[in-house]
Amino acid sequence: MMAAQETGQSLKKNQGGFTLIEIMVAIVILSIGLLGMASLTVGIIKGNKLSSNLSTATTLGQDKMEDIRRLGYSGTPATTLTVTQNYNTITDYGGYKRVTETTIDSPAAGMKTITVTTYWDSDAHSVEVKTILAQ
């Protein structure tokens, strides 16, 4: 009978499992890791949005530049001129503004420098595309 009591007591002492403190420490460590992942996710989403806006602005600038190249040297303004397409005036792209600047005899006589700058986010960000047309 003595052996049975000793065996019962030794089973209680050697039972496996986690204490409440161990579980709480594990939850705190897991929470810190998950909060770090959440802030990383927010940063990635913001970066993706900026990349998307940058790609759209670059495409809008290149589209305008293609239109200007199609006109050629003689089809562009004969004097220095700046043309602005304000926000909500570019079809399907209301959040963007495009400024086209033509500079005569730059960088040399008989040449025109065309600069197309596309803005977004209330002019907080911009993309600039340049080309030179010659006679």
**pLDDT tens for residues 16-64?**
788 999 999 999 999 999 999 999 999 999 999 999 999 999 999 999 9
- Whether the model clears a pTM of 0.85, i.e. scores above it, the answer is no
Residue 45: give the domain boundaries: 19-134
Domain assignment present for residue 114? The answer is yes
H or E element at residue 130: strand 125-134
Q: What is the average pLDDT score of the chain? A: 91
The answer to whether residue 28 sits within a structural domain is yes
- pLDDT, residue 18, reads 87
Greater pLDDT, 84 or 1: 84
Which pLDDT score is estimated for 12? Answer: 60
Whether 107 shows a pLDDT value over 60: the answer reads yes
Report the pLDDT value the prediction gives residue 16, as an integer from 0 to 100: 77
Task: State the pLDDT at residue 101.
Answer: 97
Q: In this structure, is residue 91 part of a structural domain?
A: yes
Residue 12 maps to a domain: no
Whether 36 is covered by a domain: the verdict is yes
pLDDT level of residue 7 (50, 70, 90 thresholds): low
The contacts of residue 112 (CB under 8 Å, 6+ apart) are 73, 76, 102, 103, 104, 105, 106, 132, 133, 134
Split into its structural domains, the chain has a count of 1
pLDDT on residue 131:
96
What SS3 state is found at 5?
Answer: helix
- Specify whether the CB–CB gap between 119 and 126 falls below 8 A: yes
CA angle 115/118/120 to nearest 5° reads 160
Query: Would you say residue 10 has pLDDT above 90?
Result: no
Distances (CA, A) of 19 to 6, 10, 39, 57: 24, 18, 31, 58
